[in-house]
Copies of this chain bind each other. A is one copy, B any other.
């Protein structure tokens, strides 16, 4: 049974990966956005020293936006291609949610890694507390992936998907970003370390919650 779930989730994940690698529209768009964003920020803050507060905020804006740009596509594409019914016939909702969420997580993780390196490279900030930085980043990505997969499913069948996605995803995700910013500030050495750690833990909790509750909510909208 358990292994059954694993196999199904893996199957969905693999399918997403394969189609994304063959037509990279999702990755391209996100990567495109990320790179240009980092460049813009770097350019804007060229001859001004970034302090940790702003830096954290900027980085999270980049991560949040690029997640929103690329992730809803996972379900929007299904509906626009008309392949949604195939998945509905073949797969159990939980497997679909987990498979897609994990794929989104992988995609987002990869992207935020690239973003981080570019960003840290460009702005020449130094990490006071490296582990806190990475913990926050990845917990944040997990929370984002879980939540955005759900929002993607919610908007997929709406006529005005693109703007609806932004409108509902951003406010839902802002708390994640807030916690993320708090964590990063601490990691950049401004703000209290322990409070930073707290918010990182908060992120972990939120991520767990989304991945636990998400499938149930998803099941409800997926079959209607």
Contacts and interface: CB of A to CB of B under 8 A. Distances in A.
Given A44-B177, A45-B54, A65-B69, A166 B23 contact: no
Contacts of A54: 44-45, 48, 50, 54, 58
Given A25-B162, A73-B72, A64 B36 contact: yes
Given A37-B166, A73-B72, A160 B81 contact: no
A125 interface: no
A173 B32 contact: yes
A33 B65 contact: yes
A87 interface: no
Given A33-B68, A72-B25, A162-B28, A40 B170 contact: yes
A64 B35 CA distance: 12
Given A39-B177, A54-B45, A165-B69, A76 B25 contact: yes
Nearest to A83: B80
Interface in A25-55: 25-33, 35-37, 39-41, 43-48, 50-51, 53-54
A39 to B, nearest CB: 6
A147 to B, nearest CB: 11
Interface of A: 19-33, 35-37, 39-41, 43-48, 50-51, 53-54, 56-58, 60-62, 64-66, 68-73, 76-77, 80-81, 151, 155-156, 158-167, 169-171, 173-174, 177-178, 181, 185
Given A43-B177, A44-B56, 17 more contacts: A20-B160, A23-B164, A24-B160, A25-B159, A26-B159, A29-B155, A29-B164, A30-B163, A33-B166, A36-B173, A44-B54, A46-B53, A50-B54, A54-B58, A65-B65, A69-B165, A69-B166
